[in-house]
Chain A
Amino acid sequence: MEIILQTCVNALVASAFFALMAVGLVLIFGVMGIINFAHGELYMVGAYLVWYFYSSQGWPFLVAVLVASLIVTVIGLLMERTLFRPMRDNPLGGLINSIGLLFILQVLAVQVGGVGLMKNVPPAYRGSLDLLPGVAIGNQRLVALVIAAALLVCVWYFLTRTKVGWALRAVAQDRDAAALQGINIDRISMLAMGLGAGMAGMAGALIAPLARVEPYMGHGVIITAFIVTIVGGIGSLSGAVLAAVLYAFFHTFVTTYWNGTIATMMGLLIMLVVLIVKPTGIMGTRVSE
């Protein structure tokens, strides 16, 4: 029983991070129609900024996380304006631009931080909370989980309860119809990109003390985010969150009781099955031509 509960705790933390990454990816794809391959590198930049501000400069951890997230948001805004907007009618061009940026950000990380051992980001919150005998969550993970969950709730509230959020969802559903309603597509695109990038930056910033901070840390994360996005339904925010939770629990349980390699293989297999059986994903909807 202890193992099951501890595995649930582990899966819960993973769920929050998968969701942060996937929701950001879905926002960007939904509004701009661009698959942002550099999303994992935005996550990496967030982690590097926390390493710099918190570990190297001695800033308080939460301040460093906030500043890192804001900087990544600005990077996202610049990406939209310079890389994606000129390619609005050419999704393939946007995708290629994002791949180019991916390599640029990796090389920049190498230039700034070097290579070799991972960057040292000590936990800001030491120790652990014993939930039950034999079931614990590290305080750093707990803080990251709470912030990630709060951010997801905020994003959900913003998208479903505010006019700007409605406008963003309207653009995601039908860009032309939204434009006819007077919605400024450029501004909404910038908002989506900024929000998506900021969430990736926040995920990287929060995970920095718990992960391997190195220039290529975005690789594994982006693969997971794509699996979650596809299984959830490309363009579906609620689908992304649901798929993130399901995938995290599935992956964590299979890793604990079987093997991590098998878990990843089975995750990819599930993605393929979903693509074949229900190409729109769990909660995606088919768009009529």
Chain B
Amino acid sequence: MGITRRDLLTATAGTAVLGSSVIPRIAFGETKTLKIGFLAPLTGEVSAWGLPGLYGCEVLVKNINAAGGVKIGDDTYTLELASFDDEYLPDKALQGFKKLVSEEGAKFVMMLGGDPWPGVQRFANQSKMLATTLLPSDLSPDTPYLLAPCEVHPIYNVTGVEYLARTFPDAKRAVICAQNDSLGIPSVATYEAAFEAAGIEVVDVNIFDPATTDFAPLVTSLLAKKPDIFCYDTAYADFVNLIAQQLHVQGYKGLQISCTCDNYPQIVEKTSKEFMEGFIFQFPDFDDPKLNEPFINFPEPNKFFADYNAAHPGTWTAVSWEYPSIIVQWIAGAKLAGSIEPMQVLEAMKSKPSWPHIFGEAEWWGQDLWGINNALVGKWPVVVIRDGKAVIAEYGDIPAWWAKNKDLMIKHMRNRKQMWDQRA
């Protein structure tokens, strides 16, 4: 293991964030500007998983720059974000990727991934540009320069199901609803595998049109199956909000599990604390004390959360910390490489069998599912709403689940045509 948590935090917080308020500004030599590309949906239906990420990056970059920037090799860099709204469209994404790389001179490009990635893939390969995705289902042997260093969507959802099954052993019937897109379908396969592994029967799966405006019929249809567990899959943030309201109105009293539950205080307000009690999902608020555990690789999560909410109140979502955490990892990679050049940073990050992921040590993984070991997989938090507030219940172990249930996951991924060879 060449790089440790200490190295990683030293690479970012030690020289930057911590110094912003208490350490006098360090005098560096000539400061250069380092551009980081941010290519994600900033408008439209999926913008909740783009725009808050940009806000998070702005907060992190501001803190880093305020403390004097980042020293990589012999140079010190001030970070600058170059963003482009891909509107979750492949052609827009290609336009943005070209602009960020060719005109802006970005040294790596962060993306949400999903539908836009196929539009970008060819150019990304040709330009040998390091890119990152939050959706490792974008990975394949044809994506050698694409990393999924933070989110291993949707594989981490197994940790929530594992927790649910252990905590509520009598819950045996689940229904799943998901929008029909590259976020929803692989997640359905994952939940189906996780439920089967936990001995829970999936009694109905409703895959709905992302243009759906009225969720009353969908909820009526699913509640008719008398489920113990309602699974929102990876429904868009607004969909979770509207579906939860309908579940509440139609009298559902069972368990709820979801990949995300962005802006959950609104849902609590619209339904009730009692209705939302025990809601399981996968994305913590960063004021959670469990994020101060020694294995967490993110500079001052609680302060970051406070800074973020002061700058952009009411916009925190699952991605608010994810893109920033990728910047933290990239900086560590660049420091290890002693260079900001994309291929050297990539080589440095991949030179180790494991790498410090935000939630602890993780391994480069993915060969079985995506044909390439470019996803960083380790622990992932299971978050539960208790008395109207999201708290981390535990950190689930994805590799341990995989070791036991690999065949099951591959079976369901193949059934849903989500294996990389099928998608190709």
Interface residues of A (CB under 8 A from B): 2-3, 6-7, 10, 13-14, 110, 115-118, 120, 122-123, 128, 130, 134, 136-138, 141, 210-212, 214, 216-217, 219-221, 251-253, 255-257, 259-261, 264
Given A117-B238, A256-B221: A14 touches B214 (CB 8 Å cut-off): yes
Report the tally of A-B residue pairs with Cβ distances under 8 A: 103
Given A214-B238, A221-B213, A259-B207: A10 touches B220 (CB 8 Å cut-off): yes
Contact status A7-B214, CB under 8 Å = no
Q: Residue A260 contacts which of B217, B249, B262 (CB distance < 8 angstroms)?
A: B217
Contact segment of B39-47, B183-191, B340-348? B39-47
Contact status B216-A10, CB under 8 Å = yes
Q: Residue B238 contacts which of A2, A212, A221 (CB distance < 8 angstroms)?
A: A212
Given A10-B220, A116-B48: A259 touches B206 (CB 8 Å cut-off): yes
B246: which A residues are within 8 A, CB to CB?
138
Contact status B218-A116, CB under 8 Å = no
Contact status B216-A122, CB under 8 Å = no
Q: Residue B51 contacts which of A115, A220, A253, A256 (CB distance < 8 angstroms)?
A: A115
B263: which A residues are within 8 A, CB to CB?
117, 120
Q: Is B351 an interface residue (CB 8 A)?
A: no
A137: which B residues are within 8 A, CB to CB?
249
Contact status B221-A128, CB under 8 Å = no
Q: A136-B249, A220-B211 are in contact. List 15 more A-B contacts (CB 8 A).
A: A6-B220, A6-B250, A7-B217, A13-B216, A117-B262, A118-B238, A120-B263, A120-B266, A128-B251, A134-B251, A252-B216, A256-B220, A261-B180, A261-B207, A261-B209
Q: Residue B209 contacts which of A3, A110, A264 (CB distance < 8 angstroms)?
A: A264
State how many angstroms separate the Cβ of A211 from the closest Cβ of chain B.
Answer: 6
Q: Is B37 an interface residue (CB 8 A)?
A: no
B44: which A residues are within 8 A, CB to CB?
115, 216
CB closest residue in chain B, given A133: B251
A110: which B residues are within 8 A, CB to CB?
43
Contact status A260-B209, CB under 8 Å = yes
Interface residues of B (CB under 8 A from A): 42-45, 47-48, 51-52, 180, 206-209, 211-214, 216-218, 220-221, 224, 237-238, 241-242, 245-246, 249-251, 262-263, 266, 269-270, 314-315, 317
Contact status A210-B317, CB under 8 Å = no
A sample of 25 inter-chain contacts (CB < 8 A) reads: A2-B224, A3-B221, A6-B220, A6-B250, A115-B42, A115-B51, A116-B47, A116-B315, A116-B317, A117-B238, A117-B317, A120-B263, A122-B270, A136-B249, A138-B245, A210-B245, A216-B44, A251-B217, A252-B217, A256-B218, A259-B207, A259-B208, A260-B209, A260-B212, A261-B180
State how many angstroms separate the Cβ of A131 from the closest Cβ of chain B.
Answer: 12
Give the distance in Å from the alpha carbon of A220 to the alpha carbon of B250 in the complex.
Answer: 24
Contact status A136-B250, CB under 8 Å = yes
Interface hub of B180, B214, B262, B269 (most chain A Cβ within 10 A):
B214
CB closest residue in chain B, given A212: B238
State how many angstroms separate the Cβ of A112 from the closest Cβ of chain B.
Answer: 14
Interface hub of B48, B207, B212, B213 (most chain A Cβ within 10 A):
B213
CB closest residue in chain A, given B221: A256
7 closest cross-chain pairs (CB), A and B = A138-B249, A255-B217, A10-B216, A256-B217, A261-B209, A118-B238, A256-B221
Contact status B47-A115, CB under 8 Å = yes
B241: which A residues are within 8 A, CB to CB?
118
CB closest residue in chain B, given A263: B217
CB closest residue in chain A, given B317: A117
A210: which B residues are within 8 A, CB to CB?
242, 245
Give the distance in Å from the alpha carbon of A90 to the alpha carbon of B43 in the complex.
Answer: 34
CB closest residue in chain A, given B212: A260
A259: which B residues are within 8 A, CB to CB?
206-208
Contact status B220-A3, CB under 8 Å = yes
State how many angstroms separate the Cβ of A172 from the closest Cβ of chain B.
Answer: 29
Give the distance in Å from the alpha carbon of A14 to the alpha carbon of B42 in the complex.
Answer: 31
State how many angstroms separate the Cβ of B252 from the closest Cβ of chain A.
Answer: 11
Give the distance in Å from the alpha carbon of A251 to the alpha carbon of B220 in the complex.
Answer: 14
State how many angstroms separate the Cβ of A222 from the closest Cβ of chain B.
Answer: 11
Interface hub of A117, A136, A141 (most chain B Cβ within 10 A):
A117
State how many angstroms separate the Cβ of A217 from the closest Cβ of chain B.
Answer: 8
B217: which A residues are within 8 A, CB to CB?
7, 10, 251-253, 255-256, 260
State how many angstroms separate the Cβ of B149 from the closest Cβ of chain A.
Answer: 24
Interface hub of A10, A122, A260, A261 (most chain B Cβ within 10 A):
A260
Contact status A117-B249, CB under 8 Å = no
Give the distance in Å from the alpha carbon of A6 to the alpha carbon of B249 in the complex.
Answer: 12
Given A7-B217, A7-B220, A141-B249: A117 touches B315 (CB 8 Å cut-off): yes
Give the distance in Å from the alpha carbon of A123 to the alpha carbon of B244 in the complex.
Answer: 13
State how many angstroms separate the Cβ of B232 from the closest Cβ of chain A.
Answer: 15
CB closest residue in chain B, given A257: B221
Give the distance in Å from the alpha carbon of A266 to the alpha carbon of B168 in the complex.
Answer: 41
Give the distance in Å from the alpha carbon of A216 to the alpha carbon of B211 in the complex.
Answer: 11
State how many angstroms separate the Cβ of B68 from the closest Cβ of chain A.
Answer: 32
State how many angstroms separate the Cβ of B201 from the closest Cβ of chain A.
Answer: 20
B221: which A residues are within 8 A, CB to CB?
3, 255-257
State how many angstroms separate the Cβ of A244 from the closest Cβ of chain B.
Answer: 14
CB closest residue in chain B, given A139: B249
B45: which A residues are within 8 A, CB to CB?
214, 216
Give the distance in Å from the alpha carbon of A283 to the alpha carbon of B238 in the complex.
Answer: 38
State how many angstroms separate the Cβ of B281 from the closest Cβ of chain A.
Answer: 15
B208: which A residues are within 8 A, CB to CB?
259-261
B242: which A residues are within 8 A, CB to CB?
210-212
Give the distance in Å from the alpha carbon of A261 to the alpha carbon of B218 in the complex.
Answer: 11
State how many angstroms separate the Cβ of A7 from the closest Cβ of chain B.
Answer: 6
Give the distance in Å from the alpha carbon of A286 to the alpha carbon of B262 in the complex.
Answer: 52
B52: which A residues are within 8 A, CB to CB?
116
Give the distance in Å from the alpha carbon of A7 to the alpha carbon of B238 in the complex.
Answer: 23
Give the distance in Å from the alpha carbon of A216 to the alpha carbon of B42 in the complex.
Answer: 14
Give the distance in Å from the alpha carbon of A212 to the alpha carbon of B48 in the complex.
Answer: 13
State how many angstroms separate the Cβ of B210 from the closest Cβ of chain A.
Answer: 10
Given A6-B250, A211-B242: A116 touches B51 (CB 8 Å cut-off): yes
